Amino acid sequence: MRGFDELVRLRQWRLGEIRRKVEDLEHLAARLRGEIAGLEAAILREWPGGVAAADGPRGRGEARDAAVRRRETLRRSLAAVEAELAATRDEVAAADRELGKFDVLRARRGKRAGTHAGGGRERPEQNDLRRRKAK
């Protein structure tokens, strides 16, 4: 039974690690969304007519292009993080299902040990029957 318990603990640890990865990815995605929103607000503040207005007489095309490139890079990064987040959530679900199987096995082992003659723990009602027979 000790090996079984070790295996369960290992699976629980693995599930915890995957859940922590999900949390980290969620925080990263939130940070990227915030950076994108901040950059878009800065673009609108700098060029009230939108990104296209930056090509006006002031000649800020390079600054606008850099801001647009940065925003697109952030959007691609966010898409990659969200894809990894979805895959990691699937890993959590699979690990959770696997751990559930161990719970079923543990319940079956407990049931088998309780009913097996001479092995495992006995049920309280079996103890009562033995005491009555002994009297």
| pTM exceeding 0.85 | no
Token pair listed for 123: 């049920």
Question: In degrees to the nearest 10, what's the CA dihedral of 120, 126, 130, 131?
Answer: 110
Q: What is the pLDDT of the chain when averaged over all its residues?
A: 80
Closest CA to 40 of 56, 48, 77: 48
**Helix, strand, coil percent content, the chain, rounded in steps of 5:** 85, 0, 15
Q: Taking the domains of the chain in order of start, what are their residue ranges?
A: 2-128
pLDDT score of 93 more than 90: yes
Q: What is the pLDDT of residue 36?
A: 96
Does position 130 have pLDDT exceeding 70, yes or no? no
Tens of pLDDT, residue by residue over 44-56, are 888 776 555 444 4
Q: Region 81-110: what's the mean pLDDT? A: 88
Q: Residue 128: how many CB atoms within 10 A of its CB?
A: 10
Q: Where are the beta strands (DSSP E) in 30-131?
A: none
* pLDDT band per the 50, 70, 90 thresholds, residue 64: confident
Residue type, 49: G
In the chain the beta strands, taken as DSSP E runs, fall at none
> Do 48 and 64 touch, CB atoms closer than 8 A?
no
Query: CA 27, 32, 84 angle in degrees (round to 5)?
Result: 65
Q: Do 102 and 8 meet the contact criterion of CB atoms below 8 Å apart?
A: yes
104-116 pLDDT per residue, tens:
777 777 776 665 4
pLDDT digits (tens, 9 = 90+) for 12-42: 999 999 999 999 999 999 999 999 999 999 8
